[in-house]
Chains A and B, each alone.
Chain A
Amino acid sequence: MAEKRYAMVIDVRRCISCFACSVACKAEMKVPLEVFATWLKIVEKGQDPNAQRFVLPRLCNNCGNPICTRNCPTRATWQREDGIVLVDQHRCIGCKYCIASCPYDVRYVNPLKNLVQKCYWCHHRLDAGLVPACVETCPTRALTFGDVNDPKSEVSKLLATSATQVLKKEMQTEPFVYYIGADEVAMSNVEEEINYYTESTLIKIRI
């Protein structure tokens, strides 16, 4: 039996953009206001009568070759054998170099604790035999979580039978969050021209 390596497969075709994953994450991981560990990116194509919306659930990829653990100066960011990248909250000095290095913008500074945090794929729930809170709560079962080294697991089957994509493959980070049916524009970085929820998009430039 090979070692465990967790992965997530997100079937974007099933996502109804209800934000339940984001809410469950906030409740489970006590993510403060202003920051998010899981969220949905929604992109609209075309003009009003023919506009189409495309959604992309976003969370930490818990990469196979993470740049954050390589660049962390204090080894506060480390990777478990099952692939989950954690941040040691007692060791992190808050230099934010991991945030600057991460190509996915999934790390954040907890404004209450002044520490860097991220999505840990709810490792405390995994250790208790449960699945992450977002996977548990997703009403359309768009999120699937499991061990890729176990050929009988649901993720292995999905990965073997569907066309999947990962975010920014060219970054050589080996992301372990796979998308099925994600839109190419939603997966790339697009300049924001019109924003309907301006207050929600938290661009804070501290200078």
Chain B
Amino acid sequence: MEQPDINVVYNVKHQLPLIIYIGQYFFFTGLSAGSFVISVIATLLGRKEFKPIGKITAILAPILLIIAPLNLIADLEQPLRFWHLFLYYNWTSPITYGSFLLTAYPIMGIIYAIMVYTNRQTAAKILGILGIPLAISVHGYTGFILALAKARALWNTAAMPTIFLVSAMVSGIGLVVIVAAIRWKWFDKKATPEQREQDKRLILQLAQFMAYTIMLDLFLVVSDILVLLTAHSDALEAGMLILTGNFAPLFVGVEIILGALIPMVLVLGPTRKSLTAAVVASILVNIGVYAMRFVMVIGGQTIPLS
């Protein structure tokens, strides 16, 4: 039997609750968490050639995490009431975890940066080890914000927090590569040629590490979509929305092709010895991750609920 034509004659839809500020906030916390993890890895390895990267990332992480919550406050309908988050906390809400994590993490990041810059290695190592779980939870909880909003089929998957963490690593490393390359190009003139060569090699190694995290990210995204396509009807609709629907250009075009496949080829392909290719790949990766946040936050809400 053929289905009859179905037209919605009248229905009410309220405006999208979460807007681009939220996606931007996810992007900035991701950058911060990613660069913090890189900084701690550099500090823990303790080798002399990792020092510049450890220093750059130590200062990037708290700066980015001071910018990030401004997006959240701008998104509030009552921005002057933001302090209610601390006074009237609700332990079942992921936003409450976030408001405390977002306070603790930048403070820790600033202390860690001071330790790194004043060369107190042991203190920096201890703070770094303590800080990694904090950095992971600061970004991981943002995945839970989406995953626990159960109304939206695109968000309500167990893969969401992990996808957010891995894409945070991707974009964070990308940012570190860009900043380290700027430093190498213009602010590293005093170093000896051997040292410069070493620094360049280090940046290229970071870019390769980024390519491997992109692979992990792609695996997670593909598995998420495969499950969406075989789950219930709303999930199928969500999967089709990003694969063939309105958000396909952003998801397939920008996030997957421009933001993941092309950077991977640039970094691992014939141009793998070129610093320019690494920087271009890092910029593309950051565009791709930003598109991913946009698709997730805005796209997830465009599927009609009634």
Contacts and interface: CB of A to CB of B under 8 A. Distances in A.
B148 A189 contact: no
Contacts of A99: 14, 17
Contacts of A107: 14
B163 to A, nearest CB: 18
Interface stretch (B70-78, B106-114, B197-205, B271-279): B70-78
A43 B306 contact: no
A201 B42 CA distance: 54
Interface of A: 35-36, 39-47, 53, 58, 67, 70-76, 91-97, 99-105, 107-109, 114-116, 167, 170-171, 185, 188-197, 200-207
A109 B15 contact: yes
A41 B11 contact: yes
A207 B20 contact: yes
B15 A105 contact: no
B17 A93 contact: no
B77 A44 contact: no
B121 interface: no
B4 A93 contact: no
A200 B152 CA distance: 24
B13 A202 contact: yes
Given A103-B305, A189-B304, A190-B6, A203 B298 contact: no
B190 interface: no
A114 B76 CA distance: 9
B85 A73 contact: yes
Nearest to B145: A97
Contacts of B6: 43-45, 185, 190, 193
Interface of B: 4-20, 72, 75-78, 81-82, 84-85, 87-90, 92-96, 99, 145, 148-152, 232-234, 298, 301-306
Given A71-B94, A190-B8, A96 B17 contact: yes
A95 B79 CA distance: 9
A93 B149 contact: no
Nearest to B148: A71
A100 B298 CA distance: 11
Given A45-B5, A97-B17, A58 B12 contact: yes
A95 B304 contact: no
B30 to A, nearest CB: 19
B98 to A, nearest CB: 8
Contact of A36 (B12, B20, B82, B93): B12
Contacts of A70: 90, 92-93
B160 to A, nearest CB: 13
Considering the complex of A and B, which 4 residue pairs feature the smallest CB-CB distances, nearest first?
Answer: A94-B77, A73-B95, A96-B17, A99-B17
A86 B302 CA distance: 26
B19 A207 contact: yes
B81 to A, nearest CB: 4
B93 A104 contact: no
Given A41-B11, A197-B10, A207-B20, A73 B306 contact: no
B82 A103 contact: no
A116 B44 CA distance: 47
Contacts of A192: 7-8, 11, 304
Given A91-B88, A114-B78, A103 B10 contact: no
A193 B20 contact: no
B145 A43 contact: no
A137 B16 CA distance: 31
A95 B95 contact: yes
Given A46-B5, A92-B78, A207-B19, A72 B90 contact: yes
Contacts of A67: 149-151
B76 A93 contact: yes
B197 to A, nearest CB: 46
A74 B90 contact: yes
A74 B84 contact: yes
Contacts of B18: 96-97, 100
Contact of A44 (B7, B75, B298, B304): B7
